[in-house]
Structure 1
């Protein structure tokens, strides 16, 4: 009598960002034929390399080259375009609202929580109405078109108060995302002004508001001070240790009494764990992240794994000084955790012990516009062109797939010779407006 073939292990990965995509990619390379099936669930059919969003917004990189199509890369996995709304580990099921609106359940034997963080907002009057986020490629495209369209409008008006409002751009949040977005977009507007006869550099007002006493805490305090000095030399007003009290109708009020109007308010003030995790029976810490062991296994739940921004993985490089230290939610940890996670899952399936994640902090790099940057690597500090080159080298090394690496390098090379693209394609936000006007005429 022929033996009954056992069913392959069902692996479900919730989240198709860096951790989810690279974990799935590692699994499809390492798993034997018929050993397991891999399903990746994400609301978007692509993965976004978020460190490149500021350059995509500023026209140094083509936006399509910042994203990786999941179905093309994960050709041996089942990709589901939908939003996971509930995880019930007691039933080993994930509830998903699919792209067409209907709901399905996906059962699993092994679960990977690879959800990304979302923007952390505060109850500031006016923020939901006028704030612009910077977490997705859609927001980067919108922001680019929005900023350039403000230049067009300012160049067309004779109202000095309206022009001042249109030409005032605010970034709230002094972390990496905020500083790189601010620096890249300021560099773009400075470049674009040469093509506007009615506008001068003195008409533009870029403003940074940061609630703490320093920016970019991941780099040394000296480099943080240097960055503020360089931004101020470019005419950017930096408000440190300052909070926004209100931004209703674009009227910004700071807690030091400063008030001004702005038509562009960019919110990059931190991240928080995905609220969907509250609709699960997974163990969470006080910040809403999934509690994990150093091997990225969810505490107390065999067969469940988590990594990335929404996981509380012990940081073994810091546990001597702080026994409760966990990995901070940044790209460095996401990149390195994803490489080990697929190996650990395969090892567990084959009866071997998974390895603990250990990452010694190597440093940080940040771009501040074309030919400008800061880097804090192996305790050495770099500024200017060298740091800018290190920033680009680091990120092109880690952007997924050879195809995307090549396309990004081509974009950068073209920009060096022909400058930034400064075309505002605002029509993409209302693609039917022109056709609607034509049908009514």
Structure 2
């Protein structure tokens, strides 16, 4: 009897977890991704702000799968580096840029992409931060602005180069703002002694508070802490336009700036399908409580791609949710192997943490909310544990010690990739 084939599209948190959980199921598992590495997305902002080398948060997928094989002698997980172009539901095939693959079960875990909310100029001129390439581009921009400013004789143009705007007051926006303050108080102050006091750091949020997914008092603490650190926080401010040299707000204010970092929203990122799929807010796919696509019992969607609710509220799409969904999907597929019905997914919330920087953070575990250095340390510890690979953990730990003890950053290179 031929074994079943399970195809997993996307090697993010959910996709890798599903592959790991299916490694000893007896099925032929094929994991597909456009890259040959897994990116630890929560630390992308530290690449963008020169704290970590890109390779510290990227881990080769084949190395991860080889580890599965070592731990499970009967593992049948294979990897294909390819771009998925179309999925044919009726034919049960996945068409890539190199071949066509058949499947018995399909797991869609392609994650999300930046949502520019239809703001004119945002796509063209704002920097997004979802990939290593985008994080490196932000790092290049930051250091290029300082190098340009030190040579600029026109004071208004120099101020424009030294004004850095962040759009979005969620966890990523707050992290970038805090990390930038750490840069400014550390090596930028030493490397550019005539410029650092001229820097403006602006955080724009359309809502009335920061960190809307956490309790209000934590958002208030974050606002006050960023204000203490010198960040200009604009609440209830919607962006209406982005240009090469400015950020336009709804109240007709125009902020001259050469750098706009966009963290304001995400939308589901999924390949073209032969049949229309039902979607919800931000393009997320509608799924049953079992995480199966509507009317497609052999196709699952997880992570940022799936619209799921618990207790009447949508899940937020953070990494722990994707990890638990990967386990649940693998369990349900194996139940279907045995002729049993899939079970509904239930998310166990272990808590939420957010880092502000400069030894401060916020967190909520159960009914307990806390702030300050404890939250900061817990955030560092949790992310260190979840990093794949002992080498990456060691390198990140050593880099953090170097950064926070010496107020220095090891990555200050401007690397522009030439097209061939």
Per the TM superposition, whether the score is higher than 0.5 is yes
- Does the residue aligned with 1:60 lie in a helix, a strand or coil? coil
CA contact (8 A) 1:65 1:408 kept: yes
**TM-score in terms of structure 1 length:** 0.87
Match of 2:335 among 334, 340, 347: 347
Determine the structure 1 residue equivalent to 2:69: none
**Structure 1 stretch displaced more, 208-217 or 357-366:** 357-366
Q: Are 1:327 and 2:318 an aligned pair?
A: no
Determine the structure 2 residue equivalent to 1:378: 366
> Residues 405 and 424 from structure 1, CA distance in 2 versus in 1: closer, same or farther, beyond 3 angstroms?
closer
Name the CA distance, whole Å, in 1 between partners of 2:234 and 2:348: 33
Match of 1:70 among 61, 68, 72: 61
CA contact (8 A) 2:150 2:195 kept: no
CA contact (8 A) 2:140 2:415 kept: no
Determine the structure 2 residue equivalent to 1:24: 19
Q: Are 1:37 and 2:28 an aligned pair?
A: yes
**Ranges of 4+ aligned residues in structure 1 off by more than 4 Å:** none
* C-alpha distance after superposition, 1:119-163 (max 9, x if no partner): 111332322221100111211122122212212221222221121
Determine the structure 2 residue equivalent to 1:427: 415
CA contact (8 A) 1:192 1:422 kept: no
Spell out the pairing of 1:147-158 with structure 2 (5 A cutoff).
147-158=142-153
Name the CA distance, whole Å, in 1 between partners of 2:94 and 2:46: 36
Determine the structure 2 residue equivalent to 1:59: 50
> Residues 52 and 205 from structure 1, CA distance in 2 versus in 1: closer, same or farther, beyond 3 angstroms?
same
Name the CA distance, whole Å, in 2 between partners of 1:273 and 1:43: 16
Name the CA distance, whole Å, in 2 between partners of 1:378 and 1:333: 16
> Residues 419 and 235 from structure 1, CA distance in 2 versus in 1: closer, same or farther, beyond 3 angstroms?
closer
Name the CA distance, whole Å, in 2 between partners of 1:406 and 1:348: 40
CA contact (8 A) 2:117 2:265 kept: no
Determine the structure 2 residue equivalent to 1:285: 279
Unpaired runs of 5+ residues, structure 2, are 67-75
Name the CA distance, whole Å, in 2 between partners of 1:273 and 1:52: 20
Name the CA distance, whole Å, in 1 between partners of 2:32 and 2:192: 50
- Does the residue aligned with 2:279 lie in a helix, a strand or coil? coil
Structure whose alpha-carbon radius of gyration is higher: 1
Determine the structure 2 residue equivalent to 1:388: 376
Determine the structure 2 residue equivalent to 1:139: 134
Q: Are 1:268 and 2:263 an aligned pair?
A: yes
- Does the residue aligned with 2:31 lie in a helix, a strand or coil? strand
Match of 1:400 among 379, 388, 407: 388
Instruction: Using the TM superposition, give the Cα deviation of residue 194 of structure 1 relative to its aligned residue in structure 2, in angstroms.
Output: 2.6
Determine the structure 2 residue equivalent to 1:109: 104
Instruction: Using the TM superposition, give the Cα deviation of residue 275 of structure 1 relative to its aligned residue in structure 2, in angstroms.
Output: 5.0
* C-alpha distance after superposition, 1:373-414 (max 9, x if no partner): 111222222222111001112222222344433332233233
**TM-score in terms of structure 2 length:** 0.91
Instruction: Using the TM superposition, give the Cα deviation of residue 214 of structure 1 relative to its aligned residue in structure 2, in angstroms.
Output: 1.3
**Structure 1 stretch displaced more, 195-204 or 89-98:** 195-204
Unpaired runs of 5+ residues, structure 1, are 1-5, 99-103, 433-441
Name the CA distance, whole Å, in 1 between partners of 2:358 and 2:230: 16
Name the CA distance, whole Å, in 1 between partners of 2:286 and 2:119: 31
CA contact (8 A) 1:169 1:206 kept: yes
Instruction: Using the TM superposition, give the Cα deviation of residue 260 of structure 1 relative to its aligned residue in structure 2, in angstroms.
Output: 2.2
Name the CA distance, whole Å, in 1 between partners of 2:328 and 2:395: 27
* C-alpha distance after superposition, 1:166-224 (max 9, x if no partner): 10000001111111122112321331233235424430000111111111111111110
Match of 1:222 among 211, 217, 226: 217
> Residues 370 and 60 from structure 1, CA distance in 2 versus in 1: closer, same or farther, beyond 3 angstroms?
farther
Determine the structure 2 residue equivalent to 1:90: 90
> Residues 343 and 406 from structure 1, CA distance in 2 versus in 1: closer, same or farther, beyond 3 angstroms?
farther
- Count matched residues: 410
- Does the residue aligned with 1:199 lie in a helix, a strand or coil? coil
